[in-house]
């Protein structure tokens, strides 16, 4: 058994370390304590040990491409700078053919996943969203469609009059294979009211994923942190995801998303600190003992901190992306995408083994 890195007389940290090493589940109190401790090195070591037990030194990435059919949105969430009203300068809604033309201009050999999210455009019928996927399926049949957030699925139920299950079945017929993780924000109705999250509530978000899992889909899930929520709110969020995973086993990965300021010129005091980002990744790894992967999202925390996070519990560095828009509209200062070679270099630089994967974490190539 390895020793705690930092000499620490705190009995609570020693108790948590013992739990982690014995495979015992951490409690709400444990999670809040880990956010409040200044012992970052011991926290990181415990998360690293937990990750190594699950994944060894393998770190996963995918050749993917982010697509956005529309930025017109009925919701006005306080943190979003991506949305537009119909007719606003810069607003757009692409047809399937227009998206195909965009993809053909930007795609490169090896892309195996389209990551598709967008606005809740209530000026378009549900069939538009089905046809959007069908157009991509017909033109790029070998590329997996990971499309729409749980909040978008809930929106589709309202504009179509269909049940969640029927909406998902219609999208599956058009080629949908997995749901993206967005729309979770913080799973607290009080938080959602304060932050004007004008989309799926907590139960609706969880129910969409529950239904998708029952239909055989594996999905992704997120947490957007760094605004008004408390540490307890974050831990309760993780625990709700953990409970649903106990029930369905359908989540592939948990993605902590560091909140971006609305202004790209915002100073460091308006952004999450590196300390907070590393803590959140490590705590996610320790709390979510039943999810295989924790993703370090370089779009929000930057490539360098992503590399460091591989020693703090992360086992996934996302993918090539090509041109990310939502976080960059909100003030992200990071690259809009990275190449396969850059991702391999990033992972190897952390002393880990890069593994190219598909959407479902099947290994495509191991770069020893």
Beta strands in 235-286 (DSSP E): 251-258
Token pair belonging to 193: 């009211």
Q: Which two tokens stand for residue 218?
A: 């594996």
Residue 114: φ, ψ to 5°: -100, 125
Calculate the alpha carbon distances from 251 to 180, 310, 368 in Å.
10, 20, 27
Is 73 marked as binding a ligand? Answer: yes
230/207 Cα distance (integer angstroms): 24
Cβ atoms within 10 Å of 259's Cβ, excluding its own? 19
Q: Can you tell me the distance from the alpha carbon of 321 to that of 199, in angstroms, rounded to the nearest whole number?
A: 25
Q: SS3 for 357? A: strand
Q: Would the annotation count 80 as a binding residue?
A: yes
Sign of the torsion angle spanned by Cα atoms 148, 292, 295, 58: negative
- Ligand-binding annotation for 147, yes or no, is no
Residue 196's CB is within 10 A of a number of other CB atoms, namely 13
Pick out the residues of the known binding site for [4Fe-4S] cluster: 73, 77, 80
Pick out the residues of the known binding site: 73, 77, 80
């Amino acid at each position: 058994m390895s020793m705690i890195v930092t000499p620490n007389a705190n009995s609570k940290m020693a108790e948590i370390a013992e739990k982690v090493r014995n495979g015992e589940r951490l409690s709400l109190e444990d999670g809040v304590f880990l956010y409040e401790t200044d012992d970052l090195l011991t926290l990181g070591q415990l998360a690293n040990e937990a990750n190594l037990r699950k994944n060894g030194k393998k770190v996963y990435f995918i050749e993917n491409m982010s697509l956005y059919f529309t930025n017109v949105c009925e919701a006005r969430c306080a943190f979003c700078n991506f949305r537009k009203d119909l007719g606003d300068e810069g607003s757009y809604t692409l047809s399937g053919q227009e998206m195909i033309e965009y993809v053909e201009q930007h795609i490169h050999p090896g892309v195996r996943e389209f990551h598709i999210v967008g606005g809740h455009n209530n000026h378009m019928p549900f069939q538009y969203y089905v046809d959007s996927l069908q157009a991509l399926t017909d033109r790029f049949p070998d590329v997996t469609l990971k499309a729409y957030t749980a909040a978008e699925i809930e929106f589709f139920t309202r504009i179509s009059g269909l049940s969640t299950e029927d909406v998902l079945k219609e999208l599956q017929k058009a080629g949908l294979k997995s749901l993206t993780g967005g729309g979770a924000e913080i799973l607290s109705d009080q938080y959602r009211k304060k932050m004007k999250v004008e989309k799926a509530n907590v139960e609706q978000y969880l129910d969409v994923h529950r239904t998708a899992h029952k239909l055989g889909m594996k999905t992704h899930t997120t947490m957007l942190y760094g605004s008004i929520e408390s540490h307890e709110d974050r831990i309760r969020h993780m625990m709700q995801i953990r409970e649903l995973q106990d029930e369905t086993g359908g989540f592939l990965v948990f993605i902590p998303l560091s909140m971006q300021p609305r202004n790209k010129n915002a100073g460091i005091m308006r952004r999450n600190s590196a300390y907070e980002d590393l803590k959140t990744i490590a705590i996610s790894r320790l709390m979510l003992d039943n999810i295989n992967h924790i993703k370090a999202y370089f779009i929000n925390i930057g490539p360098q901190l992503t590399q460091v996070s591989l020693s703090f519990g992360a086992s996934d560095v996302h993918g090539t992306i090509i041109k990310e828009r939502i976080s960059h509209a909100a003030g992200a200062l990071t690259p809009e995408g990275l190449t396969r070679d850059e991702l391999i270099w990033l992972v190897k630089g952390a002393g880990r083994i890069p593994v190219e994967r598909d959407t479902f974490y099947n290994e495509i190539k191991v770069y020893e």
